[in-house]
Structures are given as structure tokens and as C-alpha cells.
Amino acid sequence: MSGCHAQKNAVVINLTRFGDLIQSQPVLGRLKDLGFTTHLVCLDNFLQAARLLQGADHIHPFPGARLLALLDSTWPGAVQEFKNWVHKSAALGRFDLAVNLTPSLSSRLLCWQYQTPENRGFFLDEMGFGCYSGSWAAFLQASSAHRGCSPFNIVDLFVRAAHLGPDKVRLKINRPSKNRISDMRSLLVQESGGSDYSGFIAFQLGASDDKRRWPVEYFALLGDMLCRDLNLCPVLLGSPGEKQLAEKYRILARTGYADLTGRTDLEELSAALCSCSLLVTNDTGTMHLAAGLGVKSLAFFLATAQPWDTGPYLDNCLCLEPGVDCHPCSFSHRCQTGLHCRKIITPQLVYQAAQDFLSRGQWPEIETSQARIRLTVLKDNLFSLKPLNSRAMDSHSRWMQLQKHFFRLFLDKNDISPPLKLQKPDEEFSLEIVEHMSRLASILELAGQQAVVLNRTAPPSMKKKFLSTWQRLSHELSQSPYIPVLGLLWTYQTQASSADLMGISKLCSAYSDLFQGISHYLRN
């Protein structure tokens, strides 16, 4: 290839679920911008979804379920098939870069098999120990175990864990052809009874967990209002496993609708979304697909779901959370209110918001105690949420915004400086955080001093004291009601620096600066 630059190949590994796979598209797009030919490794049951991602030159579907089944019957056979698969996937050329976005051991082992000159994200060192390529990757791993505690959208975490420039990150999915969309619109007219509707609005009734699902009876009431008052026909979307929800909608609805539940592949689903003026949805993969297509959504975040980390990565979408103090709840929480949060946001409120958006293109500011209402904004190279009512500016919401500011500086290893325009939580909430930070800072100072002493001399008694301090700090951070995601981050970072005591001392200083910066801002 004289006169040409040698081709650069990058392999991106993402062995996660549908929604997270969709949200990794900006990593592929940025690698393409840098001149890489991209190879995407995903689970074979998400092959169709991978084909929708812009920037994926080659797709290698990984047979995860088959390999697990083989392990149960003949593990040598499973190992051999795994090696054969890796060899086949690497046959298109040598990989110059591996970006692994999945922190699991199996994904790290797969990354190790490619033997690339450079690894980003999650990988194994030469001794077989788990590693990460930077602070953002470590935070991504910590936040995956503490979903709901991270102030960063997963798209932003993927891009930064891959060490790619954060400038103008956008989520882009291949749009269906005009003919596909035209055929889908014809189908929708047919399925809706051929009535003269002015347009269509998509409903995603299901969710990954029933407790994260807005009630079907509320969807039916909303659909009746949209159909009767705005002449819009609801279009029911969902997987075959969600047909019982569509059947319940059929029983409750008093006006027309079109039911595509269980009847679309992903390209047809994309065409249906592109045929609709808006998607009303729970926190689902369909929501992320719509964001990649540029289709606006009104999304519910119930029970364990919250929009800070999993909101749609698209400007001008509406996120609704129930206006209750116990939301979001942890994954291990046993609800004592019968999941009352699912029924707080009424169809009337949703109709009011949707009506304004559909008529003016802008979401209204609605003062209500029912919901925290927020608008998605892609600003300062980060996903953000703009509050549209006072309930969305409570102390928890303000604290999430502050964490995003301070954690970003910390993870980028920049000086900790105060934000310019962010509002503080109320005085009592702020005081509790300051007192909590003060306790943590004193333990950090002790750990840092002990690390310095250990670096000079290593008496057994000092090793024991340092280990005790490290365990205490890990426990305090992981059990923190305000910053639990930093507990795992601290564990990962100190384990990575375990052979470098001065590195641990510097890490203690960095955490101390973070806590002091937060405390100083909240006190003044």
C-alpha cells in the first residue's frame, strides 16, 4: 500500500444489554473520526441492534449463551470454541487498539485474547489481574454497581472511559429508508382502522421491571385524551413478552389505537418511531433507540430508575420522576408503600405536557408536587438536566448537579474549584454533607500519613494499622448516604496503586482536596 497510510483497526467490546449497546455508538463514531476501521463485539442476540449503529464497520456477534451451555457439558470444548471464535474475529486484520466497555471478567478475558498494543476501558495485566485505563473507566465500573448514584449519563462515561475527546458527543442510529418509513405509515393507517388521524404518537408500555412501569390504565387514559382532543392515534410498541400489556390496553381504551406489540423487528421499530411525533415511554431500550433517531420522548423514571445516568441522550426530551422523597430507591430496597411512586404522575399531567410540546415544540413549566420535571440538555460536552418546576430543584437534585461538577474535575485530575451558577442544597442537607465530608477527610489524612511512614519503613504493626484505616475508609465511603459510588472507586484505585505507597498517599490527598472543595462551597 505504497503512498497510503496503514489502516488502523480498533475493536470495541460491549457485552451488555440492548440499551447500553445503543448508548456506546458515540465511541464508534469518535473512533471513525480518528481514522480507525471499527470492529464491534457484542452478544449475538443483539446483532440486529448492532447493525443500526453508525460507525460500526464490522460486527462480531459473540455466542455468549452457547459458550455457557458448552461449559456445562464440556469445558475443554468451550475453551476451544472460544479460541476459534477469537481467531476468526481477528482474521480481518491486526487490532491496534482495544476498547472494552464491559467490566466483567469474561469481557476482560476476551480483550486479553486480542493482544493489542493499547487497551482502554477494562482489561487484564500480564499477571491476570483486572485493570482499568483511567479514572473515568474506574468510575464507570463503580457506577455500574451503583446505578442511580452516578450524576453522569452512561454515554458520557463510555466516551471518557475510552479516552476519546468529549467535544460535541451525539448519539446516532442509522435511520430507515424513506420507503421503509412510508410503508410503516401505511401500515399504521391500516392498523388504526383507516381513520383520518392527524398523526401518531408512540407508547412503550413495558419496562425491564414491572416496578419501573407506568400503569397501563394511565397509558389508556392518556391515549384517549390525545385521540379525542388532538386527533392523534396511539401506537403500541413492545416485545412479544409484552402482549399482555397491549391486551390490557385494548380492554381499557375507549378510542382508537394501532397495536404493533411483538410484531416489529428493530428496523421496523425504528420506522415506527420515525413515523410518530413523540414517544411516551418508560426507561427502556426503545427510549435510547428513539434518541439515536432524533425522535423526542417523554419518559418516566420510576422506582430504581433516574434520568441522571440513563436519560435519553438527545436535546429537548422530557424526564418525569415521581415527586416523593424516597425516589429513587435502591435495587435492594423493599418498598413499604406498595410502589406508590408508579401512580403519582397522572395522565392529566402528562397530557398537559405533551399537548404543549406538540403544539409549540416546547415543554411547559408545570408547577406540581406530582413530579420532578426536567428537560434534557447537551451542554458543556456533558448530558445535563434542566429543571422545569420547583420540585425538580429539591436538595437531592441540587446535590446531583454539584456532584457532576466536582466529580468531573476530580476524574479529569484538574484543580477543584467551585461552580459559578449552581444552587446549593438547603442548609440542613448541606450541613449534613459537610459533617460527613469532615469525618471522611480525617480518615483520609490518617491513611495518607500511614502510607508515607510505610514507604520509609514497614514494621508489621504499621501495616496492620494502615490496613485497618483503609478498611474503615472503604466501609465509610461505600455506606455513605451521599457518595456511595466513591466507595468502589476508592477500592479500585487503591488496589491498582497497592504496590506504590506514595501513589496511595497522593490519592488520599486528591480525595481530601475533593471533599474540602465540596465542604468549602457548601459552607460559604
Q: What tens digit of pLDDT does each residue of 261-302 get?
A: 999 999 999 999 999 999 999 999 999 999 999 999 999 999
Quick one: CA dihedral 165, 169, 174, 177, positive or negative? negative
pLDDT at res. 331: 63
Given the DSSP bridges, would you call strands 118-124 and 130-132 parallel, antiparallel or unpaired?
antiparallel
**Residue % of the chain over a pLDDT of 70:** 96
**Residue % of the chain over a pLDDT of 90:** 71
Q: pLDDT tens digit string along 349-367?
A: 999 999 999 999 999 999 9
pLDDT band at 1 (very low <50, low <70, confident <90, very high): very low
pLDDT at res. 327: 75
Q: Does 12 score more than 70 pLDDT?
A: yes
Q: pLDDT tens digit string along 31-74?
A: 999 999 999 999 999 999 999 999 999 999 999 888 888 877 88
Helix/strand/coil percentages in the chain, nearest 5: 50, 15, 35
Instruction: Tell me the three cell numbers of residue 32.
Output: 471513525
Q: pLDDT tens digit string along 87-131?
A: 888 776 689 999 999 999 889 999 999 999 999 999 998 888 889
Cβ contact 39:92 at 8 Å: yes
Amino acid in the structure at residue 497: S
DSSP 392-436: GGSHHHHHHHHHHHHHHHHHTT------SSPPPPPHHHHHHHHHH
pLDDT band at 496 (very low <50, low <70, confident <90, very high): confident
Element housing 201 (H / E):
strand 199-204
Q: pLDDT tens digit string along 309-357?
A: 999 999 999 999 998 887 777 666 676 666 778 899 999 999 999 999 9
Rounded to whole angstroms, how far apart are CA atoms 376 and 387?
Answer: 9
Closest to 275 in 3D by CA, of 318, 227, 234: 234
Question: Could you identify the residue written with the cell 487497551?
Answer: 119
Helix, coil or strand: residue 163: coil
Helix, coil or strand: residue 233: strand
pLDDT at res. 3: 42
Rg, the chain, Cα only: 25
Q: pLDDT tens digit string along 456-494?
A: 776 777 778 888 888 899 889 988 989 999 988 998 888
Q: What is the dihedral of CA 240, 241, 243, 245, to 10 degrees?
A: -150
Cβ contact 225:192 at 8 Å: no
Q: pLDDT tens digit string along 187-231?
A: 999 999 877 899 999 999 999 888 899 999 999 999 999 999 999
Rounded to whole angstroms, how far apart are CA atoms 121 and 41?
Answer: 14
Q: Specify burial of residue 473 (Cβ count, 10 A radius: 0-12, 13-18, 19+).
A: buried
Instruction: Tell me the three cell numbers of residue 125.
Output: 495485566
pLDDT at res. 499: 65
Amino acid in the structure at residue 139: F
Question: Could you identify the residue written with the cell 476498547?
Answer: 99
Q: Does 385 score more than 80 pLDDT?
A: yes
pLDDT at res. 145: 77
Alpha-helical runs (H) found in 326-394: 347-360
Question: Could you identify the residue written with the cell 402528562?
Answer: 350
Q: pLDDT tens digit string along 402-429?
A: 999 999 999 999 999 999 889 999 999 9
- Quick one: how far is CA 501 from the chain centroid? 34
Q: b/e per residue, 344-379, with b = 16+ CB within 10 A?
A: bbebebbbebbbebbeeeebeeeebebbbbbbbebe
Mean pLDDT of the chain: 91
Rounded to whole angstroms, how far apart are CA atoms 120 and 11?
Answer: 10
For the chain, report the end-to-end CA distance as a whole number of angstroms: 63
Instruction: Give the E-state strand segments of 177-283 in sequence order.
Output: 199-204, 232-237, 258-259, 279-282
